[in-house]
Amino acid sequence: MITLQGKAVCGGVAFGKIFILSHSETVIKRRHVESATDEIERFEKARARAETELGALYEKAVKEVGKANAMIFQIHRMMLEDVDYLESIRNIITDQMINAETAVGLTCDTFVQMFESMEDSYMRERSADVKDVSERLIRILEGKSRCAVVSDEPVIVAADNLAPSETVQLDKSKILAFVTAGGSANSHAAILAKNMNIPAVVGVNGLIDPEYNGRDAVIDGFTGTLYIEPDDAVRAEMRKKLDEALRQKKLLERLKGKASVTKDGKHIAVAANIENVQGIAHALMNDAEGIGLFRSEFLYLESRAYPTEDTQFEAYREVLTRMENKRVVIRTFDIGADKRLGYLQLPNEENPAMGLRAIRLSLKRPQVFKTQLRALYRASVFGNLAIMFPMITSEWEIDRIIEIIDEVKAELKSEGAAYSDSVELGCMIETPAAAIMSDALAKKLDFFSIGTNDLTQYTLAADRQNPDMADYFDNKSKAVLRLVDYVIKNAHQNGLWVSICGEAASDASLTEALIALGTDELSVTPDAILPIRQKIMETDAAAAAAAITKEILS
Ligand code: PEP
Ligand code: MG
């Protein structure tokens, strides 16, 4: 049994096989080999495996997309038999006594150059196929698989790191749990795992070893431990934990339909954070009182081009309709930083977390922003919509946003399109500047939603993505809680309601403090709704307020 330790992100226990997921960019390590014959044999094994994979993909594609579209996999298979391609690989191994991965990489470069210089456009396009086949071979040789879960049964996905765009594109039905070598508990990939409610562990040293691929494992998402080929004692212990988690879940079921009211009668709404329309089912199943944060950027991350106004409209309408008249807060796209998109062609930045992100990008590309706002306002007649803006730092941004909204409304009016006049507007308070200026921002808006993830990152200057910063990234710190207090006071003095939608809201050990600071709503990952409701029901708001004044504010 091998035990690897990381940081727990999302509780739960999962038993399954490990599947090592590789990224699209492969860095090949050139290595000297002692025996060319052995290396060629290793290559031949990889080639046979690639053939099998492509055969399976062809069969699957024929069923799903028809014979003509599936042909591409046959072309790839043929390439694996191409005499010139194979001879080049074998010759490089023999002449240079180097590893097969390097030989495939060098052959690939030569063939790609050759195809790309051809007149015929059909032949030029074949260069992409050579790359594809070569990458498959290299990944197999490295003991990895392509950036998709290729398995008949659900697996424990292990990766060096996962970007949000990669996470959303994975076939969720194939994933039992996530384990990553890098990453931090506050990264967006970790938040996605929480939303999927599957065990997740990050920061596991020594995870990416091709040897582990396909081996039996069990993951303990509560302690952040991965056991590879667990012994009987660990299996039994994990089964017990799993049963206990299910028992706890059942106990919480009885809180469905109950009001989230403190012992002394204060109602704190418990809403859900969701990433896409599918998240609604999960939110409703857990008795969400509304949607406190719909991260609309995932609509953009899930597609290969800008989602059209109609695509967005359909998504927003569905969310609003299914939530009936419960409030739905949709955040305009927060793209940038770690949420990057090829088709947006964002410039490379030295410091993306402090760069062209969220509202800054919206204001820089007003047409894209307007498309989203048009879709939102058109959908507004189907429910109780509130719109909020991410990464606000200054009052002028709100002024500019309101000008754009007025233009959008005027356009819709002139087209005869219906929209609601009672859409509330709010902003995320997730930068220290917004918190400090919350008295002034409050004069222009209807509500605030405090994003403790970024507020912690920017206040404490601790990168939320960086596992080495885990000790510094402390959303329980006095500095952050004092800002939360200041924001809530400014909001209430100006008649605004306040929600907290960062991960701090889902952390039951912080519920008392956040109630004490006066929040009106906690917007949490759907599975945290009932545990947080339970915590609210156990809290005496007045006593908690007195304690927090003593501990944190004075
Ligand atoms: C936050 O920053 O707290 C927040 C809720 O936004 P995100 O996690 O999507 O950056
Ligand atoms: Mg944020």
DSSP 261: B
Structure confidence by residue, pLDDT tens digits, 217-235? 999 999 999 999 999 999 9
Q: Is 501 a catalytic residue?
A: yes
- Say what the pLDDT of residue 26 is: 56
Q: Whose CA is nearest to atom 1 of ligand 1?
A: 451
79-88, 185-194, 275-284, 417-426 — which one is most confidently predicted on average?
417-426
Nearest atom in ligand 1 to the alpha carbon of residue 504 is 3
Quote the ligand 2 centre to 451 CA distance (angstroms): 5
- Say what the pLDDT of residue 520 is: 98
Residue 358 has pLDDT above 60, yes or no: yes
Q: Long-range pairs for 282-288 at CB < 8 Å and ≥24 separation? A: 282/195, 282/197, 282/526, 282/527, 283/323, 283/526, 283/529, 284/322, 284/323, 285/526, 286/256, 286/526, 286/527, 286/529, 286/530, 287/255, 287/256, 287/257, 287/529, 287/530, 287/533, 288/326, 288/526, 288/529
* 451 CB near ligand 1 (under 6 Å): yes
Cα–Cα distance for residue pair 170/321, rounded to 1 Å: 28
- Say what the pLDDT of residue 166 is: 65
Nearest atom in ligand 1 to the alpha carbon of residue 453 is 3
186-200, 269-283, 293-307, 433-447 — which one is most confidently predicted on average?
433-447
- Say what the pLDDT of residue 465 is: 87
User: Residue 320's pLDDT band (boundaries 50, 70, 90)?
Assistant: very high
* 525 CB near ligand 1 (under 6 Å): no
- Say what the pLDDT of residue 165 is: 57
The count of C-alpha atoms lying within 13 angstroms of the C-alpha of 399, restricted to the half-sphere facing its C-beta, is 4
- Say what the pLDDT of residue 345 is: 77
The secondary structure of 277-313 as a DSSP string is TTHHHHHHHTT-SSEEEEETHHHHHTSSSPPPHHHHH
Q: Which of 62-71, 374-383, 512-521 has the lowest mean pLDDT?
A: 62-71
**What's the average model confidence in pLDDT over 246-264?**
92
Give me the helices (H) in 416-540, please.
Answer: 432-436, 438-442, 452-459, 478-493, 508-516, 529-538
**What's the average model confidence in pLDDT over 53-75?**
74
Cα–Cα distance for residue pair 50/89, rounded to 1 Å: 15
- Say what the pLDDT of residue 92 is: 95
- Say what the pLDDT of residue 211 is: 87
Structure confidence by residue, pLDDT tens digits, 16-55? 999 988 765 556 788 999 999 999 999 999 999 989 988 8
Higher pLDDT, 127 or 543: 543
Residue 266 has pLDDT above 70, yes or no: yes
Cα–Cα distance for residue pair 277/155, rounded to 1 Å: 25
Higher pLDDT, 216 or 186: 216
Say what the pTM is.
0.72
Q: Whose CA is nearest to atom 3 of ligand 1?
A: 451
Site to substitute for ligand 1 among 329, 428, 487, 521, most atoms within 8 A of C-beta: 428
- Say what the pLDDT of residue 221 is: 93
Site to substitute for ligand 1 among 293, 427, 430, 498, most atoms within 8 A of C-beta: 430
- Say what the pLDDT of residue 64 is: 59
- Say what the pLDDT of residue 121 is: 65
- Say what the pLDDT of residue 23 is: 61
- Say what the pLDDT of residue 438 is: 98
- Say what the pLDDT of residue 396 is: 98
Residue 342 has pLDDT above 80, yes or no: no
Residue 503 has pLDDT above 90, yes or no: yes
Q: Is 147 a catalytic residue?
A: no
Residue 369 has pLDDT above 80, yes or no: yes
The one-letter code for the residue type at 320 is L
Higher pLDDT, 166 or 286: 286
**What's the average model confidence in pLDDT over 264-277?**
96
Quote the ligand 2 centre to 295 CA distance (angstroms): 10
- Say what the pLDDT of residue 112 is: 85
Nearest atom in ligand 1 to the alpha carbon of residue 450 is 3
| Cα–Cα nearest to 433, from 372, 354, 517 | 354
Say which ligand is closest to the CA of 391.
2
* 275 CB near ligand 1 (under 6 Å): no
* 430 CB near ligand 1 (under 6 Å): yes
The length of the chain is 554
Q: Whose CA is nearest to atom 4 of ligand 1?
A: 451
Q: Whose CA is nearest to atom 6 of ligand 1?
A: 451
Q: Which of 244-253, 359-368, 534-543 has the lowest mean pLDDT?
A: 244-253
Q: Which of 204-213, 455-464, 477-486 has the lowest mean pLDDT?
A: 204-213
Q: Which of 20-24, 301-305, 319-323, 472-476 has the lowest mean pLDDT?
A: 20-24
Q: Which of 124-128, 321-325, 420-424, 529-533 has the lowest mean pLDDT?
A: 124-128
Structure confidence by residue, pLDDT tens digits, 100-148? 999 999 999 898 888 878 877 667 667 777 887 888 898 889 886 556 6
Give me the helices (H) in 219-358, please.
Answer: 232-253, 279-285, 297-301, 309-322
Q: Which of 188, 267, 282, 492 is catalytic?
A: 188
**What's the average model confidence in pLDDT over 514-518?**
97
Residue 398 has pLDDT above 90, yes or no: yes
User: Residue 197's pLDDT band (boundaries 50, 70, 90)?
Assistant: confident
Quote the ligand 1 centre to 394 CA distance (angstroms): 18
Please state, rounded to an integer, the average pLDDT across all residues of the chain.
Answer: 90
- 358 — phi, psi (to 5°)? 55, -125
Residue 150 has pLDDT above 70, yes or no: no
Q: Which structure tokens are listed for 105?
A: 């990489």
**What's the average model confidence in pLDDT over 179-192?**
78
The one-letter code for the residue type at 152 is D
For the chain, domains (ranges, CATH) are: 2-23+148-233 (3.50.30.10), 36-142 (1.10.274.10), 255-553 (3.20.20.60)
Residue 297 has pLDDT above 90, yes or no: yes
* 307 CB near ligand 1 (under 6 Å): no
